[in-house]
Amino acid sequence: MGLNLALGKAAVESLLASDADVHPEILTNHGFVFAHSTVESAVRAAISPPANL
What is the residue-wise DSSP string for 18-50?
Answer: -------HHHHHTT---S-SSHHHHHHHHHSPP
Neighbours of 5 (CB within 10 A): 9
Alpha-carbon dihedral angle through residues 4, 20, 26, 44, given to the nearest 10 degrees: 30
At residue 29, what are phi and psi to the nearest 5 degrees? -65, -25
Residue/partner pairs of 18-26 with CB below 8 Å, 24 or more apart: none
What string of pLDDT tens digits covers the 53 residues of the chain?
A: 566 566 677 777 776 666 667 778 999 999 999 999 888 898 889 988 877 76
